[in-house]
């Protein structure tokens, strides 16, 4: 397999033929990387990830996913390798029961029935959905339907897994389960791409963040790099993590404190220097 999971070169895209939604996107995500994509509503994040499985094709530029040129590769082929969990789970749910929803992709891709059974059972357990297996997905809450959508993608084990706002509608416990799931997928050398507005979730779970604004990538880097660049935050209309804001305010009273912190333990280490 190629080293790069996602490769975009000078990509442009428009829905109406006039207004560019993506402009001059150059991006490389290596196999096994875990990446968060951030930016305000309308920045182009969802449009970008739809290029990763061929749902959208660039009007100009090159998109290669695991070496496949998306303009020359059927969406059905890309879908076997790239799983996307969209922000609104209702856009991808249709089966009469949770169990059937999760099993559908496995059967569609031709997995043996015994594998379908085992993978469905595993996904139900991982996403805490076993008690809903015979329930219609549309009778569940928004957060539960989101978990069904995640389980239906995890079940067929794609190399690249993309989540669009996975923490929306989830309580603290479920957010922690999603964080653990991301770690598990990373340990399995999956390429994990998450679109999120959740600053604290991004800081705690990602080492690489991509920031978008007005259809362009304006920054890439570690959480410390991104959330201490006030120009980037202002352009993308992002707020720094609470820990960083706290460090900035403490600097008035503790002049030597380092403000490039994004985690509680790092801030604690800075404070105890004064004790």
From 135, 138, 191, 144, select the one nearest 163 (Cα to Cα).
191
Strand ordering across the sheet containing 4-14? 20-30, 4-14, 60-65, 68-69
What is the extent of the structural domain holding 50?
4-240
Q: Does 254 share its domain with 165?
A: no
As a whole number of angstroms, the distance between CA 238 and CA 45 comes to 14
CATH number of residue 102's parent domain: 3.40.50.300
Q: Does 154 share its domain with 261?
A: no
Output the pLDDT for position 1: 42
Output the pLDDT for position 142: 87
Give the relative orientation of helices 98-108 and 142-154 as an angle to the nearest 10 degrees.
30
Output the pLDDT for position 106: 93
Q: Does 180 share its domain with 212?
A: yes
DSSP H or E run through 47: helix 45-50
**pLDDT over threshold 60, residue 205:** yes
168 Rama class: left (phi>0) / alpha (psi -120 to 50) / beta: beta
**pLDDT over threshold 70, residue 133:** yes
* pLDDT per residue as tens digits for the range 232-272: 999 999 999 999 989 888 988 888 888 888 888 888 888 88
HSE of 94, CA atoms in CB hemisphere, 13 A? 4
Q: Does 94 share its domain with 207?
A: yes
Alpha-carbon distance values, 103 to 19, 28, 140, 181 (Å): 40, 32, 18, 19
Q: Does 118 share its domain with 251?
A: no
**pLDDT over threshold 60, residue 2:** no
From 183, 121, 181, 189, select the one nearest 159 (Cα to Cα).
189
Q: Does 131 share its domain with 254?
A: no
Alpha-carbon distance values, 223 to 35, 48, 269 (Å): 11, 21, 18
Ranking 73-77, 169-173, 182-186, 222-226 by mean pLDDT, the lowest is: 169-173
Average pLDDT over residues 101-122: 94
**pLDDT over threshold 90, residue 115:** yes
Q: Does 205 share its domain with 247?
A: no
Q: Does 197 share its domain with 83?
A: yes
- Cα-atom radius of gyration of the chain, to the nearest Å? 20
The pLDDT > 90 percentage for the chain reads 72
Average pLDDT over residues 84-106: 92
Q: Among all chains, which residue has been given the structure tokens 């993608």?
A: 153
Output the pLDDT for position 65: 97
Q: Does 53 share its domain with 189?
A: yes
Cα–chain center distance at 72: 25
Q: Does 110 share its domain with 134?
A: yes
As a whole number of angstroms, the distance between CA 179 and CA 107 comes to 28
Output the pLDDT for position 251: 87
Q: Does 160 share its domain with 212?
A: yes
* pLDDT per residue as tens digits for the range 137-182: 999 998 899 899 999 999 999 999 999 999 887 888 888 988 999 9
What total of structural domains would you count in the chain?
2
Q: Does 137 share its domain with 210?
A: yes
Average pLDDT over the chain reads: 92
């Amino acid at each position: 397999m190629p080293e790069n999971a996602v490769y975009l070169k000078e990509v442009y895209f428009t829905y109406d033929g006039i207004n560019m939604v993506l402009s001059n996107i150059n991006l490389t995500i290596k196999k096994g990387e875990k990446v968060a994509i951030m930016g305000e509503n309308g920045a182009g994040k969802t449009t970008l990830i739809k290029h990763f499985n061929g749902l959208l094709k660039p009007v100009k530029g090159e998109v290669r996913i695991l070496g496949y040129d998306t303009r020359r590769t059927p969406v059905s082929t890309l879908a076997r390798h790239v799983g996307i969990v969209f922000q609104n789970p209702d856009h991808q749910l249709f089966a009469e029961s949770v169990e059937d929803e999760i099993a559908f992709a496995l059967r569609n891709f031709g997995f043996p029935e015994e594998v379908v059974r085992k993978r469905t059972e595993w996904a139900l357990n991982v996403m805490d959905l076993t008690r809903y297996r015979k329930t219609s997905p549309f009778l569940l809450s928004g957060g539960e339907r989101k978990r069904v959508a995640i389980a239906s993608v995890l079940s067929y084990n794609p190399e690249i897994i993309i989540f669009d706002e996975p923490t929306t509608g989830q309580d603290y416990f479920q957010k922690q389960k999603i964080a653990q799931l991301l770690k598990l997928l990373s340990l399995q050398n999956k390429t994990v791409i998450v679109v999120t507005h959740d600053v604290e979730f991004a800081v705690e779970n990602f080492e690489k963040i991509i920031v978008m604004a007005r259809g362009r990538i304006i920054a890439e880097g570690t959480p410390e790099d991104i959330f201490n660049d006030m120009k980037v935050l202002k352009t993308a209309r992002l707020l720094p993590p609470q820990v960083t804001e706290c460090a900035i305010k403490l600097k008035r009273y503790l002049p030597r404190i380092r403000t490039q912190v994004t985690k509680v333990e790092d801030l604690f280490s800075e404070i105890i220097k004064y004790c």
